[in-house]
Structure 1
Amino acid sequence: MHDFFESVEYNDFSQWFNEKSGPEDIRELHEGFNAVNQKIKDINKDKEVQYLYLQKILELIDTGIVAYSINTGDIIWINESFKELLKTPTFKNIQFIKKRSENIFKTVFEAQHINGSTISIETEKNKTKLLISTAHFQMNNEEFKLIVLQNIENTLNQNQSEAWNKLLHIMTHEIMNSIAPISSLAETLQAEIKLNIEDSEKYPLDTNDLYLSINSIQKRSEGLMSFSKSYRGLNKITTINANKIYVRELFDGINNLLKPSLKSKGIDLQFIIDNQNLQINMDAALIEQVLINLIMNSVDACIETNQPKIMVSAKTSNEGYAIIKVTDNGKGIPDEIVDKIFIPFFSSKKKGSGIGLSLCQQIMFLHNGKIQVNSIENSGTVIRLVF
């Protein structure tokens, strides 16, 4: 009995108790001891195999993973990909990174991140864009933190290249659509004027036709200018001037601006805030632009709806994020295009530029936030701005 309990105390289950000699009850007791030892050895072996299996998988993937104690900073597990992304040798405590690079330490280990957000770090004079996710967990009354990093530089470059190709294709198509009729009409006018100069009696100018042709050229030129301005508007916003803003003040300004025109259209516009003291760190002018854009989209969606209603609300989520929602009871967004609405220049409207929602998304990215869409065709749409 003493030997068995001692083996348990020191986690040594290699001892074998004699089952073939001695009194019968002792042999039965030894059989029980041996069965327990073998079972624990099998459990430990399975756990070890599972741990090695998991460890090999995590070592092979190109996603960087580190887990460390929040209290001491000691590393409990780290894979090669994490060290490769940070361009660092093996280290046992996160303070090593702090001594090596204060900026990387603050960005990766200290800053608060929304899971799935992007960060930029500079290693060996090269900037790298990474996707970061974090999680906290507890073991034996000690708190740990898990950080996962994924290099998205190549993915971004590929997506950017594809986006540019699509953008150039769309721009070329739109510009050619404008230039071709302008060029053709100009050539026709030039030929008619030349004939008139050579023989005005035989080829008299019809001033009415001349006016209509010039007017057509002007309209197409204005259309081309409008397209160019829309494109420029998509690219000009690169920084924000963020301050703590009371959401109620933001809502009041938009309400005063839009409610009269929406009331004349028979659309009920409402603003609701759970907490009147709710503040969000934002660029008020840009977020106002986003909300006006979303509300006007809702207006278009509600045109043919009985008792059209648009509700703009704000609250704080259980996770601590500030959320502004724009909800309407309009026609909704068809399933086949809901994934395309943020693509630049994509529009389901006949006169839409396809710039508005792309601009909204870019502004939310600059706020380190995101924009989410939930829509049911013929029932309505909910768009969430998550800060």
Structure 2
Amino acid sequence: MTYKGYFIQLFLRVLLLLAALISIAYGVVKSNTYALWGGALVSIIILYNLYRFLIRRFEEMDDFFESVKYRDFSRWFSEKHGPQDIRTLHKGFNNVNKTIKAINNERQAQFVYLQKILEMVDVGIVAYNLDSGEVLWANESLITTLDLPSFKNISFVEKRRPQLYEELFDTYRTGVTSVDLSLRNENLKVLISDTVFQVEEDAFKLVVLQNIEDTLNQNESDSWKKLLSVMTHEIMNSIAPISSLAETLQHHIQASQKNPESHPLDLDDLNAGISSIQKRSEGLMKFAKTYRSLSKVTHLNLETIKVADLFKNISDLMKPTLADKQILLQFKTESPEMSLEIDSYLIEQVLINLILNAIDACVSAEHARVLITASQNTQGRVQLKVIDNGTGIPEEIKDSIFIPFFSTKKTGSGVGLSLSKQIMTLHKGKIQIKSEPNTGTEIRLLF
């Protein structure tokens, strides 16, 4: 029987009650004792039956809602006993319980899955109640990094490590911040970010902490190894011929001093040798100055400048260079009002360097063309592009072009692109390269 049958039963009972009431009314009007008492007796029986009929169903629903109130979804309501409408009601209750249990199991599985992920990541995470300080979640990475035992409330950290407490829990940050933490007389470099979120009426704070000390040390070590390797190679290349030539000249001078007649000193050869040493020494000095230029750029003098004005300045500077070359240099802006907050001197240096590289790549190309554009990407950020139709960059050296002193040119210092990348990093931007051999290169500056 469905709920439709339940309402039919209820309707029939109401009809019988009305009939009994009519009988009572008839007995009163006609002074018929049998009709009066018979109607009254039937009315009492029907009212009692109706009360039991309704109250039992309300009791069943009240029992179910009580279970819901205390989140007890394990109860099973009998579907084989009692009236048919009660069985149908029980079946509905059981379906609700099964659905909620399935949802809870799914949420529990997701929670366990998330818990395992958070335990595996090498990032410290802690979430706690802002009012009570009770810790909602703290993973093992946080405990290990901060060298703390497991704690249930942040007041534990406040008592044991007040300085750490202030950095982690008492300071609010608008973004990711690099912080030096003092842990057991050691300084630890970490990145900290936090956010506050609301769950019903409770406010929670989530703090994320990443240990970057090892990463920085490893990167610094790798960078020094690469730099020392390149510098050693370049310096040895310059010193070896200087040493060899100086040794030869010294041998000639000593031989001439011992026996001037058989080993006369040729002043022209001596002058030529000294001149070669001088040139090699100047080359070594130039190399040292070039290296110094890499570490010279440390801060920015920011100003807001229209991209059109920036392009005009560069165009005026490049005209003499292109005077005797069959290369078309074009500048295009998406909007004449587009502007950038940059160190214009440094960005000009970057663009000139990229344009000169593009010109070198286009020397042997037909209809050689270098295009510099300014536009906004899908995130609304300004991007500058230097596009050429030159020889492109071979795949095998793409990963090396930003390494200091790496160059494919005979007269190149290998510093231009390294310096350009450093300047873009100072601007909190990126430099990206897309190149196809024998097709051309596109270098993108993202601000």
Is the structural similarity TM-score above 0.5?
yes
Letter in structure 2 aligned against 1:223: G
Partner of 1:226: 286
How far is 1:68 from its partner? 10
Partner of 1:212: 272
* 3-state SS of paired residue (1:204): coil
Alignment of 1:1-387 (within 5 A): 2-3=61-62, 4=64, 12-24=72-84, 26-65=86-125, 79=139, 81=141, 100=166, 105=171, 109-111=173-175, 119-124=177-182, 149-387=209-447
Per-residue CA deviation, residues 157-182 of structure 1 (Å, 9 max, x unaligned), is: 11211221222222222222211211
How far is 1:257 from its partner? 0.3
Per-residue CA deviation, residues 246-276 of structure 1 (Å, 9 max, x unaligned), is: 2222221111001332242111111122222
Task: State how far apart, in whole Å, the 1-side matches of 2:347 and 2:147 are.
Answer: 38
In structure 2, relative to structure 1, the CA distance for the partners of 1:219 and 1:329 (3 Å cut) is same
Structure number with greater CO (CA < 8 Å, separation at least 6) is 1
Q: TM-score, length-normalised on structure 1?
A: 0.80
How far is 1:212 from its partner? 2.8
* Higher share of residues assigned helix: 2
Per-residue CA deviation, residues 117-153 of structure 1 (Å, 9 max, x unaligned), is: xx5223339776556899999999xxx9988653332
Task: State how far apart, in whole Å, the 2-side matches of 1:251 and 1:228 are.
Answer: 32
How far is 1:47 from its partner? 0.9
* 3-state SS of paired residue (1:172): helix
In structure 2, relative to structure 1, the CA distance for the partners of 1:137 and 1:266 (3 Å cut) is farther
How far is 1:54 from its partner? 0.5
How far is 1:9 from its partner? 7.3
How far is 1:205 from its partner? 3.0
Partner of 2:23: none
Task: State how far apart, in whole Å, the 2-side matches of 1:329 and 1:138 are.
Answer: 55
Task: State how far apart, in whole Å, the 1-side matches of 2:143 and 2:379 are.
Answer: 30
Aligned pair count reads 370
Letter in structure 1 aligned against 2:61: H
In structure 2, relative to structure 1, the CA distance for the partners of 1:78 and 1:240 (3 Å cut) is farther
* 3-state SS of paired residue (1:337): helix
Output the aligned Cα RMSD: 3.8
Q: Is the 8 A contact 1:121 1:127 kept in 2?
A: no
Q: Is the 8 A contact 1:371 1:383 kept in 2?
A: yes
When structure 1 is superposed on structure 2, of 28-37 and 258-267 the one drifting more is: 28-37
* 3-state SS of paired residue (2:239): helix
Q: Is the 8 A contact 1:120 1:127 kept in 2?
A: no
Letter in structure 2 aligned against 1:120: S
Partner of 1:72: none
* 3-state SS of paired residue (2:411): coil
How far is 1:77 from its partner? 6.8
* 3-state SS of paired residue (1:338): helix
Per-residue CA deviation, residues 161-212 of structure 1 (Å, 9 max, x unaligned), is: 1221222222222222211211221121122223334443322233443333
Gaps of 5+ in 1: 70-74, 114-118
In structure 2, relative to structure 1, the CA distance for the partners of 1:265 and 1:139 (3 Å cut) is farther
When structure 1 is superposed on structure 2, of 56-65 and 243-252 the one drifting more is: 56-65
In structure 2, relative to structure 1, the CA distance for the partners of 1:271 and 1:232 (3 Å cut) is same
Instruction: Look at both structures and tell me which one has the larger radius of gyration over its CA atoms.
Output: 2
Q: Is the 8 A contact 2:178 2:192 kept in 1?
A: no
Task: State how far apart, in whole Å, the 2-side matches of 1:370 and 1:149 are.
Answer: 25
How far is 1:367 from its partner? 1.6
* 3-state SS of paired residue (1:205): coil
* 3-state SS of paired residue (1:227): helix
In structure 2, relative to structure 1, the CA distance for the partners of 1:77 and 1:317 (3 Å cut) is farther
